[in-house]
Structure 1
Amino acid sequence: MMGLTYAEENYLKSIYHISEGGKRSVSTNDIAASMKTKPASVSDMLRKLGEKGVIEYRKYYGVHITEEGKKYALQTIRKHRLWEVFLVDKLHFTWDEVHEVADELEHVKSKILIQRLDEFLGFPKFDPHGDPIPDEYGDVRSRPRLPLSEIDIHGTGQIVAVKDSSAAFLRYLDKVGAYIGAKIKVVDKVEFDGSVEVLVDNKKNIFMSKEVAGNVLVI
Structure 2
Amino acid sequence: MGLTASNEDYLRAIWKLEEWQDHPATSGELARALGLSPSTVSEGVSRLVSRGLVRHAPYGAISLTDEGRKQAARMVRIHRVLETGLVQLFGYSWDEVNAEAEQLEHAVSDLFIERLDAALGHPQRDPHGDIIPLPSGEIPDAVAAPDEQIPLCDLAVGEGGRVERVSDTDSDVLVYLDELGVVPGTRLRVTGVRRGVGIVRVTVSDREFDVALNAAQVVLVAVDRDAAH
- Relative to the length of structure 2, the TM-score reads 0.82
Contact kept? 1:153, 1:186, Cα under 8 Å: yes
Shift of 1:123: 0.7
> Cα–Cα, structure 1 residues 25 and 196, in superposed 2: closer, same or farther, change >3 Å?
closer
The residue aligned with 2:227 is none
Quick one: distance in 2 between partners of 1:3 and 1:25?
A: 26
The residue aligned with 2:218 is 215
Contact kept? 2:160, 2:189, Cα under 8 Å: yes
What is the aligned-residue RMSD (CA, Å)? 2.5
Q: How does 1:25-174 map to 2 (within 5 A)?
A: 25-108=24-107, 110-140=109-139, 141-142=143-144, 143-144=146-147, 145-174=149-178
Quick one: distance in 2 between partners of 1:21 and 1:146?
A: 11
> Cα–Cα, structure 1 residues 87 and 213, in superposed 2: closer, same or farther, change >3 Å?
same
What percentage of residue pairs aligned between the two structures are identical? 33
The residue aligned with 2:3 is 4
Would you say 1:178 and 2:182 are equivalent positions? yes
Shift of 1:136: 0.8
Contact kept? 2:26, 2:62, Cα under 8 Å: yes
Give structure 1 stretches of 5+ with no counterpart.
none
Contact kept? 2:98, 2:168, Cα under 8 Å: no
Quick one: distance in 2 between partners of 1:22 and 1:214?
A: 12
- Relative to the length of structure 1, the TM-score reads 0.86
How many residue pairs end up in the alignment?
A: 217
Quick one: distance in 1 between partners of 2:29 and 2:214?
A: 22
